[in-house]
Structure 1
Amino acid sequence: MTLSMLTAGILLLHLLGVFAAMHAVMYTRTPQGAIGWALGLVLLPYVTLLPYLYLGSSRFLGYRTGRRRRPAPLSSASTDGHAAIDPGCARFAAVSALQGQPFRGGHRLRLLIDGDAAFDAMLAAMAAAESCLLVQFFIIHDDGLGRRLQQVLLQRADAGVRVCVLYDGVGSHDLPQHYVDALRAGGVTIHPFSTHRWRNRFQLNFRNHRKIVVVDGTCAFVGGLNVGDEYLGLKPPLAPWRDTQLELRGPVVAELQRHFAEDWRWITGNLPPLLPPLPGHGDASALVVASGPADELETGSLFFTAAINAARERVWLSTPYFVPDHSVRAALQLAVLRGVDVRVLIPARPDHRTVFLASTLHAYHAVRTGIRMFRYQPGFLHQKALLIDHDSAAIGSMNLDSRSFRLNFEVSALVVDAAFAGEVETMLTTDFSHAHAIDEREYLDAPYLRRVAMHVARLFDPLL
């Protein structure tokens, strides 16, 4: 009896594996991924069925059902009629069409370098909120910085400000319930972002990696910083922590408000308080670039590809995880062939060893094609910055890996403004001065087993 039940169980697993393999063949994004999943599910369903349940889907279903991307108008004047846009925006027409939004002019910007400057500015802006405060982070810790944020949120809620907070349920997995309960008791509306509905319920792979703060609909922040003492450089061995945030004032604040609202509505079924956009009083033109697994197109990868292809003088990139897909890798290589100065800054210290191994192999291949690769030495580099030519730069949450390209909800701001690009250039020049150039010897001189480990790590590129 026991033997027959065991046999029946094995047959059932193999039958489920066959059905799952059929699903993988139909819906997995790449032929390589489809082959890998199909073979594993048919031959070893005992090992692969559960991972496929959690990792196998390539789309986050239901989030933006029926939404279509439409080309956005692009002219010398913004559509709100308040401020002219920089003519340099025209070469990013593909990015504008990808977002279904035009560039808008009239922005005032502030580049915030590292955690102390960024959180001093963000917490001060939050503390001055008068009507509405929208806050979203991938990670919130219950530590010194997390409690500073908690106190500001409670004070604003006590003053009658409507405070809405989103954090990622996996990224903030160790956030204690008492932290959340204290905020709710104080009048703050706070929720974890989760897959939430039955079609996505097991898809832990889809995460909300966005960092958005919007104050009274007039001031917003995006960048790479989460809420935790490590982001202030207070936790060795990764300290000092290198990161960047961007403060924006102008029309695109309304776009950041809208992207927060889409996430909020997915979780709560309701909209947060939304304030009308204000006219801009600055000189910079900007476009919010939001991406995620609910998009019809692979927005993250297409954004980097289009931006790199637009470059004629230089492409300087700073990313903690260098695991480019074929499109982005080809765009970087083509830029080198056009004579563009292509430089990529990555960490010298790992925070995720598998990603670090894969990044090292990708760096080796990049160097061989003429891409200049550098390792930042003082501490861990978590900054996500992109500089194009002399007039364009992007700051946000997007890493250069498949997770940011396809699996995470991300947001960045693409700015066309020579003065702002000059600030980013100065920042990155300082960063490169604290970095060592990578050459082929980094890979070739590594022990054989470490090189094998790099190639094994690369097999997991679609999940990194």
Structure 2
Amino acid sequence: MTLSLIGSVILLLHVLGVLAAAHALMYTRTPQGTIAWVLVLLLLPELTLLPYLFLGASRFRGYLHTHHRALPREHPVTAGDGEGRYAALMAMQGRPFRAGHRLRLLIDGDATFEAIFAAIAEARHTLLVQFFIFHDDGLGRRMQQALLERAAAGVRVCVLYDGVGSHDLPRHYVETLRAGGVAIHPFATHRWRNRFQLNFRNHRKIVVVDGVRAFIGGLNVGDEYLGLKPPLAPWRDTHMEIRGPAVADLQQLFADDWQWITGAPPPLHPSPAADGDARVLTIASGPADAQETGSLFFVAAINAARRRIWLTTPYFVPDSAVRAALRLAVLRGVDVRVLIPARPDHRTVFLASTLHAHHALRAGVRLFRYQPGFVHQKVVLVDDECAAVGSINLDSRSFRLNFEATALVLDRDFAAQVEAMLRADFARSREVESREYLDAPYLRRVAMHVARLFDPLL
């Protein structure tokens, strides 16, 4: 009787494995992921059905419906003066560059959070706050207190955090905010089922104050982002402040996520008036997109370069499209540089990144390892007039698994500030040479190639 029951359970699991494999065949986003899921679901359903439930589902019907309803209806988008090289990005986003912005480049955690806290203290109507990570540490408690003070003053405060990115955030941190009048929720792609989906995380970092100023970039809320946690300290990162019409785009991006989670929109403000000369295009990407927007963003930026393309990323795991774009840029004489960490925060990613760096070096790309500490910034500089600051890493997770946001700026003054910042970073870096890979121990090189097999998940 017992053996018969066990046999029936095994048979049922294999039937479910076949059904799950068929689902993976139809809906997994990459060929590599499809092959991997189909094989393990057919051969080892006892071990892989549960992980597939939390990692494999990639349909976003409800989120897509809400997101597409809120998309701007500005097609066709016409490129203005100097914008032609970025026309594909405008078409992909369905909106043009917004003119009339005043921008501030915020280098590292102290400058970023002093600016954010000063803006929060001046809020009079609404605060929209979204980070991938909140920690219950010194910076986290300072943020908590700042939000509570504004809520007590009658400001509508709405906060989103990612449930997986903030997995160690204690319940009392959230409950204290709610008790103080702050509306706070974890992000999930499925409102009613599978709220513990481990993929498809919301990696955006957005703060919007009264609908007139916004912050975007690479920093989260935790002491490590202030460089207070060795061995990765000092932490190198970049954020920016935006004043002008593009603030409304970031407000709407937050509103899309908020309405999906809560069922109701947050308080919204009309688009602010022009407040400067810079042009800004907000790039929103995520797994709900019909195309791999994150990868296409890098491809378009690299292809736009005529003189130089400088990139900085904590994780250098480019897909085939980005690798090809980098090679073509080198072949047409563009100065291609990539700044990456010298210290790992995720060892598997670091191993894969080291192998990708070796292949890029052979293709003529110059790579630099930042020496003082961990580099986490996500910055792009194209020629002398275009720069981007945001949350998109140069890896498959940002390309196709995470929700991301970046501000692409057309402005010579801002680009010059970014150039000066990156020159200082390169001066503190060591240029990668071929011997980094060639002189590595054999087993370490094997580990690099094994790590690269996991590119679609890194």
The TM-score bracket by the shorter chain reads: over 0.9
**Larger deviation: 274-283 or 421-430?**
274-283
Q: Distance in 2 between matches of 1:158 and 1:114?
A: 30
Q: Deviations over 1:314-349 (max 9, x none)?
A: 010000001111111111111111110000000000
**Separation in 2, partners of 1:88, 1:48:** 51
1:193 matches 2:187: yes
Q: CA RMSD in A?
A: 1.4
The C-alpha deviation readout for 1:239-263, integer Å capped at 9, x for no partner, is: 0000000000000000000000001
Is 1:421 aligned to residue 415 of structure 2? Answer: yes
Secondary structure in structure 2 of the residue aligned to 1:324: coil
1:142 aligned to which of 136, 141, 152: 136
- Of 43, 60, 78, 1:74 maps to 78
1:23-62 aligned at under 5 Å gives the runs 23-62=23-62
The counterpart of 2:102, out of the listed 102, 108, 130, is 108
User: 1:429-461, CA deviations, whole angstroms, 9 ceiling, x for partnerless residues?
Assistant: 000111111122111111111111111111111
Deviations 1:54-99 (A, max 9, x none): 22234433212283887442254xxxxxxxxxx2222100000010
C-alpha distance in 1, partners of 2:331/2:79?
A: 31
Q: Do the aligned residues in 1 keep the contact of 2:191 with 2:261 (CA within 8 Å)? A: no
Give the whole-Å Cα distance in 1 for the aligned partners of 2:76 and 2:397.
27
Distance 1:281 1:44 in 2: 59
Following the alignment from structure 1 to structure 2, what is the Cα–Cα distance between the partners of residues 408 and 347? Answer: 21
Task: Give the one of 252, 263, 272 matched to 1:258.
Answer: 252
Q: Distance in 1 between matches of 2:130 and 2:44?
A: 40
- Which residue among 324, 344, 365 is the counterpart of 2:338? 344
Residue identity in the other structure for 2:322: V
Measured after TM superposition, the shift of residue 372 of structure 1 is 0.7
Superposed, 1:57-456 pairs within 5 Å as: 57-65=57-65, 67=68, 71-76=75-80, 87-198=81-192, 200-201=194-195, 203-456=197-450
Aligned-partner Cα distance in 2 for 1:226–1:15: 43
Q: Which whole-Å CA distance do the structure 1 matches of 2:79 and 2:10 have between them?
A: 63
Q: For 2:111 and 2:274, locate their aligned partners in 1 and report how far apart those are by CA, in whole Å.
A: 24
Residues 70 and 160 from structure 1, CA distance in 2 versus in 1: closer, same or farther, beyond 3 angstroms?
closer
- In structure 2, relative to structure 1, the CA distance for the partners of 1:72 and 1:434 (3 Å cut) is farther
1-structure distance, mates of 2:367, 2:198: 32
| Residue 18 of structure 1: aligned partner | 18
Partners of 1:39 and 1:180 lie apart in 2 by 41
Aligned residue identity for 2:4: S
One-letter identity of the residue aligned with 2:295: S
Give the secondary-structure state (helix, strand or coil) at the position aligned to 1:20: helix
> Is contact 1:133-1:216 (8 Å) kept?
yes
The alignment partner of 2:63 has SS state of coil
- In 2, Cα distance between equivalents of 1:188 and 1:409: 24
**TM-score normalized by the length of structure 2:** 0.96
Which secondary structure does the structure 1 equivalent of 2:83 belong to? helix
What do residues 3-29 of structure 1 show as CA deviations (whole Å, max 9, x unaligned)? 111222221221111111111222222
Seq. identity, %? 73
Instruction: Report the residue type matching 1:248 in the other structure.
Output: I
1:123-177 per-position Cα deviation (integer Å, ceiling 9, x unaligned): 0000110111111100011111111111111111111111111111111111111
State the distance in 2 between where 1:59 and 1:335 align.
35
Displacement of 1:51 in angstroms is: 2.0
**Aligned counterparts of 1:186 and 1:28: Cα–Cα separation in 2:** 42
- C-alpha separation in 2, matches of 1:33 and 1:4: 35
Residues 72 and 96, structure 1, Cα contact 8 Å, conserved in 2: no
How far off is 1:199 after superposition?
5.7
- 8 Å CA contact 1:195, 1:204 repeated in 2: no
Question: What letter corresponds to residue 78 of structure 2 in structure 1?
Answer: L
Conserved in 2, the CA contact under 8 Å of 1:71 and 1:96? no
1:436 match: secondary structure: strand
Question: Retained in 2: the 8 A contact 1:70–1:98?
Answer: no
Amino acid at match of 2:183: T
> Conserved in 1, the CA contact under 8 Å of 2:132 and 2:202?
yes
Larger mean CA deviation between 202-211 and 119-128 belongs to 202-211
Check whether the contact 1:238–1:380 (CA below 8 A) recurs between aligned residues: yes
Tell me how far apart the structure 2 counterparts of residues 8 and 197 of structure 1 sit (CA, whole Å): 34
What letter corresponds to residue 258 of structure 1 in structure 2? Q
CA offset digits 1:393-423 (Å, max 9, x no partner): 0000000011111111100000000110000
In 2: Cα distance, 1:195 partner to 1:74 partner: 33
Question: Are the equivalent residues in 1 in contact too, given 2:250–2:282 (CA < 8 A)?
Answer: yes
The answer to whether the 8 A contact 2:205-2:391 is kept is yes
Structure 2: segments with no counterpart, 5+ residues: none
Does the CA contact (< 8 Å) of 1:195 and 1:202 recur in 2?
A: no
- Is 1:3–2:3 an aligned residue pair? yes
Q: Distance in 1 between matches of 2:121 and 2:195?
A: 36
Q: Give the deviation of 1:200 after TM superposition.
A: 4.9
Specify the code of the residue in structure 2 equivalent to 1:60. Answer: F
Contact kept? 1:60, 1:200, Cα under 8 Å: no
Residue 39 of structure 1: how far off its partner (Å): 1.5
Unaligned runs of 5+ in 1: 77-86
The count of corresponding residues between Structure 1 and Structure 2 is: 454
- The Cα of 1:281 is off from its aligned counterpart by 2.3
Give TM-score scaled by structure 1 length. 0.95
Q: Is the 8 A contact 1:71 1:98 kept in 2?
A: no
Give, in angstroms, the shift of residue 202 of structure 1.
Answer: 5.2
Whether the 8 Å contact between 2:32 and 2:456 is mirrored in structure 1 is no
Show the counterpart of 1:79: none
- SS of 1:207 mapped into structure 2: coil
